[in-house]
Amino acid sequence: MTEKKVIEMKDVWVRYGNQIILEAVNLDLDKPGGLLGIIGPNGGGKTTFLKILLGLLEPYRGSVKLFGKTPEKSRDLVGYVPQYKGFDYDFPISVWEVVLTGRLSHAGFLKRYGQEDKGAALKALETVEMLEFKDRQIGQLSGGQRQRVLIARALASHPKLLLLDEPDSGLDPHMQDELYRLLGRLKKDMAIVMVTHDLSAVSVYVDKIACLNRKLHYHNSKEIPVEDLEATYQCPVELIAHGIPHRVLGRHKN
Amino acid sequence: MFELLQYSFIQNALAASVLASIACGIIGVYVVVKKIVFISGGIAHASFGGIGLGYYLGINPMYGVLPFSLLSALVMGTVSKKSKIPEDSVIGILWSFGMAIGIILVNLTPGYASDLMTYLFGNILTVPRLDLYLMLGLDIIILGTVCLFYKEFLALCFDEEFTTVQGLPTQKLYLLLLCIIALTIVVLIKVVGIILVIALLTIPATLSRQFTHNLKKMMLISTLFGGLISIAGIGLSYAFDLPSGATIILVLSLVYGLVSFVKGRLDSRGFGSGSRA
Ligand SMILES: Nc1ncnc2c1ncn2[C@@H]1O[C@H](COP(=O)(O)OP(=O)(O)OP(=O)(O)O)[C@@H](O)[C@H]1O
Ligand SMILES: [Mg+2]
């Protein structure tokens, strides 16, 4: 039996108006587990890249397959933690209700949430240590606590592919460390793609690294060639690399 | 006072205000939390085209409004999301377009358009029995839809993008919500009229928000508020011979101002904070 590739992106181009945001992006992720870190400068296209995987945006050229299907058809297998939480924090919804919305793809249209859904939501809240806040209104949490709730919402659906857009922003060092450990545990059961600006975390916790700035530099390894880093951030490597242990940095061998 | 209740027009008015407050109490909460007050106002005003249509065809204008308001909901919902021009401009254009159609049609209708003012400004003291049945039917449809789609609507209003990612047809759900708002507007027309509908959709719901952080409780509280205040408004308008729709809105606004003021005072003194459950 051949496993379907988790992600198969072929020659993907994206533009807003006539500005090209992603150019000829290819990515194959075939293992059903592991943590891929994506780094890149502001405006490099990282969020856009995740939105392509989620089927929220269409590439104008190229193809995207998740588990051998289109992104729209594989939504029950994908979990998502967005970067911009542009929603209204005064909204009358509790932490518990927010996490339950992570079960929508499983609960069935027009049905009430069942025991299985509630169990999954409970477990997810436990995982991020937020169970005691379950009845709070979402606006009555700190930024970091909210972030954890959104992670729980993504986990509640038991995804096979978890996409996280800067999940570590706004977390205190303890919680950040907890998050990375959690992802370290989760990556045994699911493939994880995490966008981050925290280069030192990247070097410790991720299995593979990709650099994204319009083009995706990815070598199926944990080493980032210095040329790639410089091309991505367009500045000398010394400025970027202080967080990265030297074993992560490599030179192209050509 | 109680002998008033013998009059059938008073009985009808009370029934109408109860039916109206159920619809606006529940749907107004969605309008407020999803911040679609403007598009709802647009649907309401564009529905005037349906009133004109009713007069032109010589049928009960309520049966003209019903399809017309649904149509405006669908057109506004679709065009405002799809088009390149900003959403509020699109709404503004369709808003006046619908009204213009109505005015032209009323003008083309031979004879005097009796009761036209009731549709614009409402007159709860003249609601005929037949309209009550229509309101009841619409209330049942509105309640049924909200019960069926409760969790979907909640997710849609809170985080549309995430709801899409969960594989739900968010655009269709949004259109459904707008259609339910259109039906609510039809229920409310006889009470306050097209021009003032938006007040009934927003004030009770906004008021209820000051007391709870739970959507279902908000619906309950705003229904109660709406009901009590409409009944008080009917009493005042009868006693002082004032237009009922405007009186209800006036009472609503005053109560809203008063509650906000008192609550603000209490909260700033450290009472009341966290009193929202
Ligand atoms: N809706 C939009 N319309 C037009 N341009 C857009 C839109 N969204 C993003 N862009 C552009 O696309 C580019 C990539 O944006 P994206 O949000 O993917 O960057 P990012 O790598 O996630 O940045 P950050 O690190 O700041 O989150 C940016 O140059 C941005 O200006
Ligand atoms: Mg981003």
Q: What is the CATH number of the domain that holds A15?
A: 3.40.50.300
d(CA A80, CA B19): 42
Q: Which of B154, B165, B214 sits opposite A80 (nearest CB)?
A: B165
Q: Kindly report, residue by residue over B58-90, the tens digit of the pLDDT.
A: 999 999 999 999 999 999 999 988 888 888 899
Q: What is the mean pLDDT of residues B18-36?
A: 96
Q: What percent of chain A has pLDDT over 90?
A: 49
Å between B161 CA and nearest CA of chain A: 8
pLDDT score, position B217: 96
Residue range B2-268 forms a domain whose CATH class is mainly alpha
Q: Kindly report, residue by residue over A143-176, the tens digit of the pLDDT.
A: 888 888 999 999 999 999 999 999 988 788 888 8
Is A22 contained in some domain? yes
Residue of A nearest to B33 (CA): A91
For residue B74, give both structure tokens: 């669908």
User: Are A80 and B159 within 8 A, CB to CB?
Assistant: no
Length of chain B: 277
| 3-class secondary structure per residue, B71-90 | HHHHHHHHHHHHCCCCHHHH
d(CA A91, CA A73): 30
Atom of ligand 1 nearest to the CA of A49: 18
pLDDT score, position B55: 93
Q: Kindly report, residue by residue over A63-118, the tens digit of the pLDDT.
A: 999 999 999 999 999 999 998 766 788 899 999 999 999 999 988 888 899 999 99
DSSP strands (E only) in chain A? 7-16, 19-29, 34-39, 61-66, 78-81, 161-165, 191-195, 208-213, 215-218, 224-225, 249-250
What's the total number of domains in chain A?
A: 1
User: In what side-by-side order are the strands of the sheet with A7-16?
Assistant: A19-29, A7-16, A61-66
Higher pLDDT, B269 or B33: B33
- Alpha helix positions (H), A45-198: 46-54, 95-101, 104-107, 115-127, 143-155, 173-186
Question: Is residue A254 over pLDDT 90?
Answer: no
A121/B contact by beta carbon, under 8 A: no
Q: How confident is the model at residue A1 (pLDDT cuts 50, 70, 90)?
A: very low
The upper half-sphere exposure of residue A65, i.e. CA atoms within 13 Å in the direction of its Cβ, equals: 10
Residues 78-137 of B with CB under 8 A from A: none
* Cα-based angle A103, A108, A112 (whole degrees, multiple of 5): 80
CA R_g for chain A? 18
B232/A contact by beta carbon, under 8 A: no
Higher pLDDT, B5 or B205: B205
pTM: 0.90
pLDDT score, position B150: 96
Atom of ligand 1 nearest to the CA of A166: 27
ipTM of the complex: 0.88
For residue A238, give both structure tokens: 């010394």
Q: What is the mean pLDDT of residues B255-270?
A: 87
User: Are A110 and B148 within 8 A, CB to CB?
Assistant: yes
pLDDT score, position A204: 79
Q: Kindly report, residue by residue over B169-201, the tens digit of the pLDDT.
A: 999 999 999 999 999 999 999 888 998 999 999
Question: Is residue A246 over pLDDT 80?
Answer: no
3-state secondary structure of A171: coil
Q: Kindly report, residue by residue over A43-67, the tens digit of the pLDDT.
A: 999 999 999 999 999 999 999 999 9
The helix/strand count (H/E) of chain A reads as: 9, 11
Q: What is the mean pLDDT of residues B211-228?
A: 95
Q: What is the mean pLDDT of residues B112-121?
A: 85
Poorest-pLDDT segment among A144-158, B106-120, B131-145: B106-120
Is A75 contained in some domain? yes
Question: Is residue A251 over pLDDT 70?
Answer: no
Q: How confident is the model at residue B24 (pLDDT cuts 50, 70, 90)?
A: very high
Q: What is the mean pLDDT of residues B254-269?
A: 89
Question: Is residue B4 over pLDDT 60?
Answer: yes
The amino acid at residue B49 is G
Q: Report whether B184 contacts B146 (CB < 8 A).
A: no
pLDDT score, position A131: 95
A101/B contact by beta carbon, under 8 A: yes
User: Are A104 and B212 within 8 A, CB to CB?
Assistant: no
Atom of ligand 1 nearest to the CA of A48: 18
Q: B52: part of which helix (H) or strand (E)?
A: helix B48-57
| Mean pLDDT score of chain B | 91
Cα–Cα nearest to B47, from B191, B205, B183, B244: B183
Ligand 1-lining residues (CB < 6 angstroms): A 16, 21, 40, 42-48, 83
Residue with tokens 């909460």: B29
Poorest-pLDDT segment among A32-46, A72-86, A195-209: A195-209
Q: How far is the CA of A51 from the centre of ligand 1 (A)?
A: 11
Question: Is residue B274 over pLDDT 80?
Answer: no
Residue of A18, A38, A39, A48 best suited for mutating to test ligand 1, as the one with most atoms within 8 Å of CB: A48
φ and ψ of B127, to 5 deg: -70, 120
d(CA B216, CA B26): 8
Length of chain A: 254
| Bridge partner list, A64 | A9
Is A127 contained in some domain? no
B157/A contact by beta carbon, under 8 A: yes
Is A111 contained in some domain? no
Q: Which of A72, A82, A92 sits opposite B218 (nearest CB)?
A: A92
pLDDT score, position A2: 52
B84 contacts in A (CB within 8 Å)?
Answer: none
Is A52 contained in some domain? yes
Instruction: Kindly report the protein residue whose alpha carbon is nearest to atom 26 of ligand 1.
Output: A42
Å between B276 CA and nearest CA of chain A: 10
Q: Report whether B234 contacts B14 (CB < 8 A).
A: yes
pLDDT score, position B271: 60
d(CA B20, CA B230): 9
Q: Which domain holds residue A191?
A: 7-89+159-248
Question: Is residue A247 over pLDDT 70?
Answer: no
3-state secondary structure of A210: strand
How many contacts does A have with B, using Cβ atoms within 8 A? 69
Atom of ligand 1 nearest to the CA of A50: 18
Q: How far is the CA of B257 from the centre of ligand 2 (A)?
A: 42
3-state secondary structure of A62: strand
Is A33 contained in some domain? yes
